[in-house]
Amino acid sequence: MKQLKEILYKTRIEQVIGTTDVSIYDISFDSRNVKLNSLFIAVKGISIDGHFFIDNVIEAGARAIICETMPNQIRDGITYIQVKDSREALAYIASNFYDNPSSQIKLVGITGTNGKTTTASLLHQLFMEMGYRVGLLSTVCNKINNEIFPASHTTPDPIQLNAFLRKMIEAECSHCFMEVSSHAIDQHRITGLHFTGGIFSNITHDHLDYHKTFDAYITAKKKFFDNLSSQAFALSNVDDRNGMVMLQNTKALKYTYSLNRPAEFKAKVVENRISGLQLNVDGVDVWFKLVGQFNAYNILAIYASAVLLGVDKMEVLKVLSSLEAVDGRFEVVKSANGIVAIIDYAHTPDALKNVLSTISSVREGNENIITVVGCGGDRDRKKRPVMASIACEYSAKVVLTSDNPRSEDPETIIQEMLQGVDILSSKKVLNVLNRREAIKTAILLASPGDVILIAGKGHEKYQEVKGVKHPFDDKQIVKEIFEQ
């Protein structure tokens, strides 16, 4: 329970009707979750406007309303607070309601197009292995030490987020590693949080269905670093052409990492195989179980972050060298007759190119690469032909199939992907709408030693069709077909 006046700190209030001297037992921006003596924050969403439900939540027991537009009917005994931005207010109120938990834990945010999940998840594993109590907020799952909580979004809403952080503190966690999506930054989900550090991995073509332009996407990412405090660290990949852009206006302590340029944290790829990577990290040769140049960047970001958090360099490298790939990130499954399947979440052109170029570089002979790939429905349509083109460039055979079609016709999605396939490449492309059959087809096309990339869904255990999530696990299906 909190007094309303206590949890309004930092909100930009324009008008108050009623008293702020009331007890609030719960906060919500979902009208379905409102309880007796709740505070309801009316948020204007993409498809639903919370202002339409103000009367409903009052009937359900709400004592106070946060809104951007005052309702026509003002009820006695209810406090109405008009604010400049309901999403921003929600974030500050959630933080205040849970006693500002982010200021009581070392919270590190990772943002960028690719590498967020691997970096956050392996930082969590690394610190757990070194004996710390640690939290994780990621696309794959949320964790408090080893206890797992399912994740529905890359970054939870502000109420869930602050509730998780409060639970972490109660579980005596000293650190939390968190993926920070561009949507979360733009929608104020992380507003009001105190970050100890921020990491930038890279930025490529993605989420333009939401941000509309690449400049707007970059601006959203940069805003995260602009808002870091002078006590925080900002760590950026300067091999990315926007790496230094992220650091331009930040008040945080600036650090860089690189494989190719001068930087505070440097690494060099010595050897790259399907079994792992040998890197020279700040002058020390170490073998890691992760594969590919993109993972060399992830490893370097993890190493640099741990060092900036005060951990001994050699201890970091020793433990990091023992860690395995994250679920659905370049995960290798081998058949009895030597066919190799790689399950990866690659769902952007850059991620797909990184994975395929890595597979190509670690081949020991002339093994064929067979790629199974689709594109998600209700998402950025511009990348569809690009994804197909990249798959054709690196693969002997390409099987175009469904990803998560959502509300779209999967056949239409595949037809849009085919626009990126030239006449010469068309001979090696098959369309198999059913994803399970597509995976089976790729395996039947493969000979011993060939590598099959199954891209796009990675860790996901479902396929979303017409608003319904059906059980579907790429890795499990591969194993079943291999056994058959």
Domain end residue (candidates: 52, 73, 97): 97
**What CATH code is carried by the domain that includes residue 457?**
3.90.190.20
Give the pairing of strands 23-24 and 64-67.
Answer: unpaired
| Within-domain flag for 326 | no
Is residue 412 located within the same domain as residue 358?
Answer: yes
Q: What local confidence, expressed as pLDDT, does residue 206 receive?
A: 52
Contacts for 230-234: CB closer than 8 Å, 24+ residues apart: 231/196, 232/195, 232/196, 232/197, 232/198, 233/196, 233/197, 233/198, 233/308, 234/197, 234/198, 234/200
pLDDT greater than 70 at residue 211? no
Locate 184 and state its tokens: 């979360």
Question: Exposure pattern of 98-135 as b/e (b: 16+ CB <10 Å)?
Answer: bebbbeebbbbbbbbbbbbbbbbbbbbbbbbebebebb
Q: What local confidence, expressed as pLDDT, does residue 212 receive?
A: 55
| Within-domain flag for 125 | yes
Q: What local confidence, expressed as pLDDT, does residue 217 receive?
A: 81
Is residue 301 located within the same domain as residue 444?
Answer: no
Is residue 296 located within the same domain as residue 376?
Answer: no
- At 210, the pLDDT band (50, 70, 90 cuts) reads low
For residue range 174-200, what is the model confidence (pLDDT) as tens digits? 999 999 998 899 899 999 999 999 999
Cα distances from 378 to residues 70, 133, 306, 406, in angstroms, run 33, 39, 38, 7
| Within-domain flag for 276 | yes
Is residue 114 located within the same domain as residue 24?
Answer: no
Is residue 222 located within the same domain as residue 283?
Answer: yes
Distance, CA of 70 to CA of 117 (rounded, Å): 41
Is residue 130 located within the same domain as residue 237?
Answer: yes
| Within-domain flag for 228 | yes
Name the DSSP letter for residue 457: -
Q: Residue 447 belongs to what domain range?
A: 331-483
| Within-domain flag for 346 | yes
Angle between helices 116-129 and 313-320 (to 10 degrees): 110
Greater pLDDT, 45 or 77: 77
- At 275, the pLDDT band (50, 70, 90 cuts) reads confident
Name the DSSP letter for residue 4: G
What number is the average pLDDT over the span 133-137?
97
Is residue 120 located within the same domain as residue 244?
Answer: yes
Radius of gyration of the chain (CA): 24
Overall pTM surpassing 0.75 (yes/no): yes
In 3D space, the residue among 31, 26, 21, 15 whose CA is nearest the CA of residue 69 turns out to be 15
Is residue 279 located within the same domain as residue 345?
Answer: no
Locate 323 and state its tokens: 């860690």
| Within-domain flag for 266 | yes
Q: Please give the backbone phi and psi of residue 408, each rounded to the nearest 5 degrees, phi first.
A: -85, 160
What number is the average pLDDT over the span 143-167?
90
Query: Which residue matches tokens 């952007």?
Result: 348
Is residue 238 located within the same domain as residue 221?
Answer: yes
Q: What local confidence, expressed as pLDDT, does residue 153 receive?
A: 66
Domain end residue (candidates: 269, 289, 320): 320
What number is the average pLDDT over the span 133-156?
88
Cα distances from 218 to residues 92, 208, 223, 238, in angstroms, run 24, 11, 9, 15
* DSSP run (H or E) holding 164: helix 158-170
Is residue 34 located within the same domain as residue 76?
Answer: yes
Give Cα 317 to chain centroid, integer Å: 25
Domain end residue (candidates: 76, 97, 118): 97
What number is the average pLDDT over the span 393-413?
97
For residue range 416-445, what is the model confidence (pLDDT) as tens digits? 999 999 999 999 999 999 999 999 999 999
| Within-domain flag for 325 | no
Question: Exposure pattern of 244-276 as b/e (b: 16+ CB <10 Å)?
Answer: ebbbeebebebbbbbbeeebebbbeeeebebeb
Is residue 241 located within the same domain as residue 257?
Answer: yes
**What CATH code is carried by the domain that includes residue 91?**
3.40.1390.10
Residues whose CB falls within 8 Å of the CB of residue 214, separated by 6 or more in sequence, listed in order: 205, 208
Contacts for 42-51: CB closer than 8 Å, 24+ residues apart: 42/66, 42/67, 42/68, 42/86, 43/86, 43/87, 43/90, 44/68, 44/86, 50/86
Instruction: Output the average pLDDT for the chain.
Output: 94
- Quote the number of domains for the chain: 3
**What CATH code is carried by the domain that includes residue 282?**
3.40.1190.10
Is-contact 183 197, C-beta < 8 A?
no
Distance, CA of 152 to CA of 331 (rounded, Å): 22
Is residue 403 located within the same domain as residue 441?
Answer: yes
Q: Which amino acid is at 24?
A: I
